[in-house]
Amino acid sequence: MLLGITVIVFLIMSLIPGDPATAILGAYATPENVEKLNRDLGLDRPMVERYFIWLGNMLQGDFGRSFSLNRPVIDEVAERFSATLVLAGTSFVLCALFGIAAGVVSAVRQYGLADRLITFAVLIGISVPSFFLGMIMILFFAVRLRWFPVSGMYAIYGGGDLADLLHHLVMPAVALAAVAAGVVARLSRSAMLEVLRQDYIRTARAKGLRERRVIFGHALRSAMVSIIPVLGLQAGFVLSGAVYIETVFQWPGVGRMLVDAILKRDLMLVQGGVVFVAAAYVLFNIAVDVAQALLDPRIKT
């Protein structure tokens, strides 16, 4: 999967109109300077040769050097990824907790008032794009009510502690988690309803077990086998959604870095950033597969 991603990213960046050397040189882009820079960067070589040189360097830990920042790509991506990890990790935890909780309550109270309210809220959450929800939240909670800061990760003056970080994190994390939480809630409800109809659930209730133990000790554990793969998919949505959420809230993460790098035609930074994020997503999905196998021993066979 990672190999396929490297091919796609390299092809897309190679086919973008314009000359990277001209963008780098700016006002100094004379024909002689452009030709020399293309030769120094290896851009005058065939595309296939350039791809394998780039891939070989990456396998040795060398993601190249960003011309716009004048520093190694891996250093910039690693520094920015910590901010993205805070935002995406918080959003993922929120979507998992609230999504599963809403799905369980909706399934247990099927066709009741709670089920109808949760279904309505989930429908709105899924229908509204994260970036639009983010802008609405900025307008209402930041501009009008002044409860939260408009943008950034820390206050410009003062702050810098955990409380300041959490204060800046609330709106982007909620905006990014809303759609994912809706998807998790819908599928959690379906999984729980299917499990609650099983014979062993009726047997557990007939034995006189408490309803809470039946729901959380038996039904939810069985339903998690179907819910965990959905969480893995939503992790990818959260990582990709961080690109526009970080742009809306000016969050200093990988997503904002990629947007700036694309505008500056910083090919190495874009390619390295996308591959790094893709590798993190693949590793997370491997962890999800392992967790699913631990919950359901049948998968091992």
pLDDT at 299: 60
Q: What is the DSSP string of 8-67?
A: HHHHHHHHSSS-HHHHHHGGG--HHHHHHHHHHHTTTS-HHHHHHHHHHHHHTT---EET
**What CATH architecture does domain 76-295 belong to?**
Orthogonal Bundle (1.10)
Could you report the per-residue pLDDT of 209-223, keeping only the tens digit for each? 788 888 887 788 888
Domain boundaries, the chain: 1-62, 76-295
Specify the higher pLDDT residue, 120 or 209: 120
Instruction: Tell the burial category of 24 from Cβ atoms under 10 Å away from its Cβ (0-12, 13-18, 19+).
Output: buried
Q: What is the DSSP string of 77-110?
A: HHHHHHHHHHHHHHHHHHHHHHHHHHHHHHHHTT
Could you report the per-residue pLDDT of 270-279, keeping only the tens digit for each? 888 888 888 8
- Banded pLDDT at 75 (limits 50, 70, 90): confident
Q: Say if residue 18's pLDDT is above 60.
A: yes
Could you report the per-residue pLDDT of 123-167, keeping only the tens digit for each? 888 888 888 888 888 999 988 888 888 888 888 776 677 888 888
Closest CA to 80 of 91, 94, 69: 69
Average pLDDT score, the chain: 83
CA gap 226, 130 in Å, rounded: 25
Lowest mean pLDDT across 35-44, 82-91, 165-174: 35-44
pLDDT at 158: 66
pTM score > 0.85 for this model? no
What is the average pLDDT across 260-267?
81
